[in-house]
Amino acid sequence: MAKNKLCPQCHIRRFSVKNEAGEIRVVTVSENGEIELVHPEESLEGFDLDTLYCLGCSWRGSIRSLE
Ligand SMILES: [Zn+2]
């Protein structure tokens, strides 16, 4: 099973990303740093993938900051 990168604060693996309209998508990040949709039928088009928002705590930041 593929491993996911984790929130540096609360160590869960699910994050959200946002677009300009304020919509969100729930994603995980693979060990290789690839953003993967939890619901693959959705689209990430137009979403800002540079900032991840943790679903478990107030952390937000870039993929590079994940553990
Ligand atoms: Zn967190």
Q: Looking at residue 1, what is its pLDDT?
A: 57
- Residue holding tokens 């693996």? 13
Number of folded domains that form the chain:
1
Max CA pair span of the chain = 34
Residues with CB under 5 A from ligand 1 (ion): 7, 9-10, 54, 56-57, 59
Q: Is residue 23 part of a domain?
A: yes
Q: 0.85 exceeded by the pTM?
A: yes
The alpha carbon of 66 and the centre of ligand 1 are apart by a number of angstroms equal to: 10
In angstroms, the CA 37 to CA 26 distance is 6
The pLDDT assigned to 24 comes to: 97
How far is residue 61's CA from residue 43's CA, in Å, rounded to a whole number? 21
Q: What is the pLDDT at residue 51?
A: 97
- Structural domain boundaries, residue 55: 15-65
Q: Is residue 42 part of a domain?
A: yes
Q: What CA–CA distance (Å, rounded) separates 39 from 58?
A: 23
What is the per-residue pLDDT for 60? 98
CA 23 to ligand 1 center in whole angstroms: 20
What's the CA-to-centroid distance between 55 and ligand 1, angstroms?
6
In a domain? residue 9: no
